[in-house]
Amino acid sequence: MSIRIAGRTPPKIIGVMLDSDAVSILLDAPAEAPSGFNGSEDNLIWSFSRSERLEHLLTEAEGVSAPLPTLVSVGKNSDSELLLNLEHVTALNLQGDPEAIEKSCAAMAVQLASSHLADDLTVVCVGFGQDLSVFERVEYVPDVASAIGRIAHQHRQNRALSDNHAPFAITRMGNGSDCSQPAVVIIPGELAGEEARRLLEECGSSVCIAAHGLSGATWLGQFDDYGLLVEPIGLRLEPYGLSAAAVAAVAELATTAKDSRRTNPAGDIRATPVAKLATTAQDSHGVVPEMPSVLSPTDIEAPAPVHEQPPIDVEARVLGAVATSQIPEPARRPPTDVEVRVLGTVDVLGAAQSFTSRRALDLVAYLAFHPEGADRDQLKTHLWPPDDPPSESTLANTVSRARKALGVDDNGKPYLPRVSRTGIYRLRPEVGTDVARFEELASAARSDAGERGRQQLQTALELVRGTPFTGGGGEMFRWADFGLRTHIDCMVDTTAHELAERCLEAGDPEGARRAVITSLRLVGVCEQCYRWRLMAAAENPTELRRIMAELLGLLQRESDQPEADNLISPDLLELYDQLMSGCMVLS
């Protein structure tokens, strides 16, 4: 749906109703249904049959940001289940039975903590759910004052992230923006009047609140002997709820999953504690509370362990390479699943599929050389022409195509994760570059003066397949013009000189010749390269004359002068004369 309404004013969505036959989207105001959806007579409901084949819909939705990350199931009636869009509701006043409210808040927190319907989401549990902090989305605060401070922080973060762009709910829906940072604040304890007033002032801008006694809120969840009444839509439901014991069991399950993944990453441990959860989560009557259909205990995903990374030199990070002083041996370089190659035609080894979008390839290459990441403005500035900046939709689609082309690792994690909570796009450490590999080989060779070091220099130069950053057209890889191309040329040139010297010392003039030819293909004219070429051809006068004639021709074309002898240094001319006269003896 998000794709199909692209370019249109997105509707305001109240929630989603699920029943055995259809999925129905409830709208706040009438709107014409997009293709593939059936609209009600009043155009307030869009629906499609659950019997429809979903393969093409899943393909169409691949890589699209979750448009409704705060959907949460609050209850069911005899026919269907309601998933309420808290981001639209903004403020939900929970009234009635305190125990029912506590259980409903617990159920909402557990759902949102592990929901597959959200990409980036923060769940703030106020005065409860401290154990749920095992989920990376959940933050526990002890009281309302702390919650208000946390909300203020969220607003500052969102303002810095949005920078005068449209609200997140608007950019996600229809534009597929990858930048969505909603927060849901859940408060089961009854509020005082002043607390409710202050919280209502903090609502909005992707911060939504569900709280007991949030007087003044437009939306009401009334718990009574008949269940849950949701106003203003007048829907009567049987509410979902989880007891404190059930919440503790869920937290224990997530903790077990997290610990097991650290010790056995390949193991499937999610289903192991389910029986324990079922027995522990019984309510006071010995009945296991029913979980909403959008969440079951085996759906719970624990956050992946944070891998420790070695310290990275700031200058080396800019070039996408680990500092050579920190990794003297190539074997110490973290293994990369995917390698972005720029030492020739740009391509990506190990990608899941070919890049059909040149801009997506440009984006991946840019991020590969900026491991610290980049925000939206940086990507727009460096990847698109200044007179033709992309829309939010274009940027999001480019990121999505890049993510899809790169694919995922063995654990199903994308090599290009979704935008961070601070608005940064960053590749996983498993994505490397051929430039980083080149530098590590050259660095290791400098600590080994023997044959192994010479082979490492040769291997590094063999990574050079042609002129760097070719194959993308004039408007591609412009960001590499600001120092990176020069750095690569100098890196290759220096390595070629070093290898040529070692080859001559080892009695391998052909190896020396190949080394400097690799550099000359990049830099064009390098007197030091021609010096090594002359020395490699010391025993071949014909080759010596050809090399000198070639150099003179290049200098004439570059200087636009008919005579170029005066452009050659006296030292090189003296070397040439000595070699031609047979006076130079090579050791």
Chain centroid offset of residue 45 CA: 34
Compute the distance between CA of residue 326 and CA of residue 133 in angstroms, rounded to an integer. Answer: 36
Reading the block at residue 320, the tokens are 């996408």
pLDDT at 154 over 80: no
pLDDT at 174 over 50: no
Residue 282: per-residue pLDDT = 40
Higher pLDDT residue, 477 or 312?
A: 477
Cα–Cα distances in angstroms (integers) from residue 437 to residues 312, 368, 430, 463, 464, in the given order: 15, 13, 13, 9, 11
Residue 369: per-residue pLDDT = 96
Compute the distance between CA of residue 587 and CA of residue 584 in angstroms, rounded to an integer. Answer: 10
Quick one: what percent of the chain has pLDDT higher than 70? 75
Q: Which domains, from first to last, does the chain contain?
A: 1-64 (no CATH), 88-299 (3.40.50), 314-434 (1.10.10.10), 483-587 (1.25.40)
Chain centroid offset of residue 560 CA: 50
Within 10 angstroms of residue 124's Cβ, the number of other Cβ atoms is 23
Range 469-479 average pLDDT? 81
Cα–Cα distances in angstroms (integers) from residue 492 to residues 316, 343, 563, in the given order: 16, 10, 30
DSSP 101-131: HHHHHHHHHHHHHH-TT-SS-EEEEESS-GG
Range 393-410 average pLDDT? 90
Angle at 435 between CA 434 and CA 437, to 5 degrees: 65
Q: pLDDT by residue (tens digit) across 217-268?
A: 999 999 999 999 999 999 999 999 999 999 998 888 888 765 654 444 333 3
Compute the distance between CA of residue 543 and CA of residue 560 in angstroms, rounded to an integer. Answer: 25
Q: What are the helix and strand counts (H, E) for the chain? A: 19, 17
Residue 356: per-residue pLDDT = 81
**Helices 98-114 and 244-263 meet at what angle, rounded to 10?**
20
Range 106-124 average pLDDT? 87
Range 567-587 average pLDDT? 77
Compute the distance between CA of residue 196 and CA of residue 217 in angstroms, rounded to an integer. Answer: 9
Q: pLDDT by residue (tens digit) across 183-206?
A: 999 999 999 999 999 999 888 767
Angle at 511 between CA 506 and CA 516, to 5 degrees: 120
CB 10 within 8 A of CB 19: no
Q: Tokens 């274009």 correspond to what residue?
A: 394
CB 277 within 8 A of CB 300: no
Angle at 356 between CA 355 and CA 357, to 5 degrees: 90
pLDDT at 427 over 60: yes
DSSP category for residue 197? H
Residue 334: per-residue pLDDT = 45
Compute the distance between CA of residue 257 and CA of residue 265 in angstroms, rounded to an integer. Answer: 10
Compute the distance between CA of residue 530 and CA of residue 395 in angstroms, rounded to an integer. Answer: 46
Residue 55: per-residue pLDDT = 56
User: In what side-by-side order are the strands of the sheet with 347-349?
Assistant: 347-349, 338-341, 431-433
CA atoms within 13 A on the CB side of 125: 26
3-state secondary structure string, 50-108? CCCCCHHHHHHCCCCCCCCCCEEEEEECCCEEEEEEHHHHCEEEEEECHHHHHHHHHHH
Residue 310: per-residue pLDDT = 33
Per-residue confidence band for 178, with pLDDT thresholds at 50, 70 and 90: very low
Compute the distance between CA of residue 543 and CA of residue 533 in angstroms, rounded to an integer. Answer: 9
Strand-pairing partners, residue 113, are none
Range 206-221 average pLDDT? 94
Reduced DSSP (H G I as helix, E B as strand, rest coil) percent helix, strand, coil of the chain, to 5: 40, 15, 40
Residue 372: per-residue pLDDT = 94
Q: Length of the chain in residues, anyone?
A: 587
pLDDT at 294 over 50: no
Phi, psi of 13 (to 5 degrees): -105, 125
Residue 554: per-residue pLDDT = 82
Per-residue exposure over 105-122, b if at least 16 CB sit within 10 Å of its own CB, e if not: bbbbbbbbbbbebbbbbb
Higher pLDDT residue, 85 or 524?
A: 85
Closest CA to 490 of 458, 468, 465: 468
Average pLDDT, the chain: 79
Residue 223: per-residue pLDDT = 96
CB 122 within 8 A of CB 183: yes
Q: pLDDT by residue (tens digit) across 503-512?
A: 999 999 999 9
**23 class by beta-carbon count within 10 Å (0-12 exposed, 13-18 middle, 19+ buried):** middle
Q: pLDDT by residue (tens digit) across 67-86?
A: 888 999 999 988 899 999 99
Higher pLDDT residue, 7 or 82?
A: 82
Q: Where are the alpha helices (DSSP H) in 268-338?
A: 274-280, 314-318
Residue 21: per-residue pLDDT = 86
Q: pLDDT by residue (tens digit) across 29-82?
A: 999 888 778 899 999 999 988 776 555 565 555 545 678 889 999 999 888 999
Within 10 angstroms of residue 38's Cβ, the number of other Cβ atoms is 12
Q: pLDDT by residue (tens digit) across 428-438?
A: 999 999 999 99
Sign, CA torsion 321/324/325/329: positive
Phi, psi of 74 (to 5 degrees): -105, -15
pLDDT at 457 over 60: yes
Report field, pTM of the whole predicted structure over 0.75: no
Strand-pairing partners, residue 23, are 18, 48
